[in-house]
């Protein structure tokens, strides 16, 4: 999975909806995938570097961390118009917390997740997210493992799988 290009795609999608205050909620400081997605987010912001700031907020991959980040933002009195979340679990926490505060998604805030977990299409509103090709990832992983075991050497080829932006109902133009 090309986490960098996928995160760039998600960020550019929010920018295309005229969002200029976009927060990235990470999966934690020890997760390399979170850093890769943050790099893609930064690349998406690059064209608008004078208008947009790098607004990274640390989560831990759980819905609870999404909730906690939103609550901290409201305490500080500084909130974005859009959230790009490290994964769908964080997105669920963000959306749930905003809804409990009386906000409507996507009318008041836009939220994008990452992974396209099965629950993402059943959540209300349906979560806009980056879909990872899980089956293909599993197939490649198993083939690499079997090749490594039979040849006793590590394959040198790199596989980059295509990601898809799945647009549902959690994003809209900036209010």
Q: What is the pLDDT of residues 68-78, one digit of tens each?
A: 999 999 999 99
| C-alpha span between 65 and 25 (Å, rounded) | 9
Residues 69, 79, 20, CA angle at the centre, nearest 5°? 120
pTM of the model: 0.87
Listed in sequence order, the DSSP H helices in 17-122 are 32-46, 63-76, 88-100
What is the Cα–Cα distance from 106 to 170, expressed in whole angstroms?
5
Q: Looking at 11-25, 138-152, 154-168, which range is the least confident one?
A: 138-152
Which domains, ranges and CATH numbers included, belong to the chain? 3-133+161-166 (3.40.50.2300)
Q: Which residues pair with 67 in a beta bridge?
A: none
Phi, psi dihedrals of residue 128, rounded to the nearest 5°: -70, 130
| pLDDT one-digit tens code per residue, 20-54 | 999 999 999 889 999 999 999 999 999 887 788 89
**Tally of helices (H runs) and strands (E runs) in the chain:** 5, 6
Categorize the per-residue pLDDT at 137 as very low, low, confident or very high, splitting at 50, 70 and 90.
low
In the chain, % of residues over pLDDT 90: 70
**CA–CA separation, 12 and 18 (whole Å):** 10
Burial class (CB in 10 A: 0-12, 13-18, 19+), 170: buried
What pLDDT sits at residue 105? 98
Question: Residue 39 has what pLDDT?
Answer: 96
What are the beta bridge partners of residue 55? 23
Residue 152 banded pLDDT, cuts 50, 70, 90: low
3 state SS for 112-170: EEEECCHHHHCCCCCCEEEECCHHHHHHHHHHHHHHHHHHCCCCCCCCCCCCEEECCCC
Would the pLDDT of 151 be above 80?
no
Q: How far is the C-alpha of 104 from the C-alpha of 106, rounded, in Å?
A: 6
Tell me what pLDDT residue 47 has.
82
Q: Give every CB contact of residue 36 below 8 A, 6+ residues apart in sequence.
A: 3, 4, 7
Lowest mean pLDDT among 16-30, 34-48, 100-114, 130-144: 130-144
């Amino acid at each position: 999975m090309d986490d960098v290009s996928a995160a760039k795609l998600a960020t550019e999608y929010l920018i295309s909806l005229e969002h200029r205050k976009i927060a990235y909620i990470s999966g934690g400081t020890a997760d390399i995938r979170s850093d890769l997605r943050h790099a893609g987010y930064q690349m998406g912001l690059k064209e608008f570097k004078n208008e947009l700031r790098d607004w990274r907020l640390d989560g831990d991959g759980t819905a609870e961390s999404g909730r906690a980040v939103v609550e901290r933002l409201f305490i500080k009195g500084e909130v974005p118009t859009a959230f790009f979340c490290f994964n769908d679990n964080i997105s669920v926490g963000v959306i749930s917390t905003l809804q409990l505060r009386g906000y409507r998604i996507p009318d008041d805030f836009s939220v994008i997740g990452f992974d396209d977990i099965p629950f993402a299409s059943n959540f209300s509103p349906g979560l806009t997210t980056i879909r990872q090709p899980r089956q293909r990832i599993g197939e490649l992983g198993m083939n690499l493992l079997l090749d490594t075991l039979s040849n006793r050497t590590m394959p040198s080829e790199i596989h980059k799988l295509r990601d898809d932006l799945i647009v549902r109902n959690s994003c809209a133009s900036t209010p």
